[in-house]
Amino acid sequence: MQDINIDTPEDMSDAAGALASILNRHGGFMYSFDLKNEALKRYRMSPSAQGRARKKAGIKGVRTPGFGCSHSVCTWEWTPREEALAWAERHPITDSPSGSGGSMKSPEISECENVILEIRDLPASELDLLADIIDAIRHEHDADMITVLKAERTRLMERIAEIDRIITRHERNGEQPE
């Protein structure tokens, strides 16, 4: 990972080139928050520096009405808006991994470990509903885990049976296993 500090016009060209290379790797189209997150991770480039670099690189954002203002498609200045919207239709946000956690109104939590949700200003009358939601999430997770464990057990039992067959065959023939 390299830091891109923008102190000179040459640094701005480096930053613009970095954003252009990210966008090119994704075929010339990419959601704005994915581009921002990748530039932050890969180059430690601040969002304000990214904004200036996007202008220099000729990258524009096309707002996608179906996803709201904050979810725009980044593409090149000369790309028709219709192509950007068609790309957004073919690549729904839910199918792409992103570093976004959604919004306060609609948080997005994907599969990960040790998620902590902080819920504030919840009326006391809703505590029972909250407990029901938490129980439902736990039961769904437990059911998924049981399915995974059963599949793993089956796989291991099949492997043990295969090992037993190999050992038995070699013992009958008086050979050493390879």
Q: Dump pLDDT digits (tens) for 123-146.
A: 777 777 777 777 777 777 677 778
Domain boundaries, the chain: 9-95, 124-173
Among 8, 9, 39, residue whose Cα is nearest residue 21: 39
Higher-confidence position of 171 and 105: 171
Mean pLDDT (whole number) for 7-11: 62
Among 40, 72, 76, residue whose Cα is nearest residue 55: 76
**For the ranges 2-6, 11-15, 54-58, the one whose mean pLDDT is highest:** 54-58
Which residues are registered as beta bridge partners of 76? 59
Is the CATH number 1.10.3470 carried by domain 9-95? no
Residue showing tokens 């010339």: 28
Q: Dump pLDDT digits (tens) for 84-133.
A: 888 888 877 654 444 555 665 666 655 566 666 677 777 777 777 777 77
Tokens of 70: 């904050």
| CB neighbours of residue 83 within 10 Å | 14
On whether the CB atoms of residues 73 and 36 are closer than 8 A, the answer is: no
Q: Dump pLDDT digits (tens) for 11-39.
A: 677 778 888 888 888 888 888 878 888 88
pLDDT over 70 at 7, yes or no? no
pTM of the model: 0.46
Among 76, 20, 15, residue whose Cα is nearest residue 49: 15
On whether the CB atoms of residues 29 and 87 are closer than 8 A, the answer is: yes
